Amino acid sequence: GIEVGDVDAKALKFQVKVQDPFPSSESIRSSLLVNVPESKHDVLVDFITRLYAVYVDLHFTYLEINPLVVLDPTAEEPARVYYLDLAAKLDQTAEFQNIGIAGVVPSSTGADAGPAMDFPAPFGRELTKEEAYVQELDSKTGASLKLTILNKDGRIWTMVAGGGASVVY
């Protein structure tokens, strides 16, 4: 690969506490965009603000964009933002809150953003029809409904966090 050095040590950081309102455009400009040409400030503030809104609204737990490219404005077009690679993780426990929006995030072009978000079974195994049914129920409620079948021929069920019951026969 390429020697890029310690990016974390060089990167500017801007922390927003969970319960705090999103910061003003001016605070973003003065903290994150100090080394960016003024002609790109408006498009970057808009991008950062919208990106943060999507991050919060869809319950992301992780989001990394690298590299992010901002093209210079021309006489015909304003500055434009392109993210060339993106890695993200969604909070599966918030899936029930995102029904209808997790797979189709509105875009400025009106293009379909793709299929609904599917959370796969753990690596190396497929869900049984019973597990898939409980997972579907879980996605439609705020309650936590989980089922993992350890032995398909077994007759004992354990409720690890059961409401008063620990074993069901």
Percentage of the chain lying above the pLDDT 90 cut: 25
Q: How many domains does the chain have?
A: 2
Residue-wise pLDDT tens digits, 154-167: 877 776 665 555 45
In tens, the pLDDT along 87-132 reads 888 887 776 676 655 444 444 444 444 455 555 666 567 888 988 8
pTM (two decimals): 0.60
Q: What is the pLDDT of residues 11-21, one digit of tens each?
A: 888 888 888 88
Range of the domain at 106: 1-119
Q: Are residues 90 and 37 in the same domain?
A: yes
- Domain boundary residue among 119, 141, 159? 119
Same domain, 83 and 109: yes
80 and 20 in one domain?
yes
- Asked if residue 158 and residue 112 are part of one domain, the reply reads no
On the 0-12 / 13-18 / 19+ scale of CB atoms within 10 A, 2 is exposed
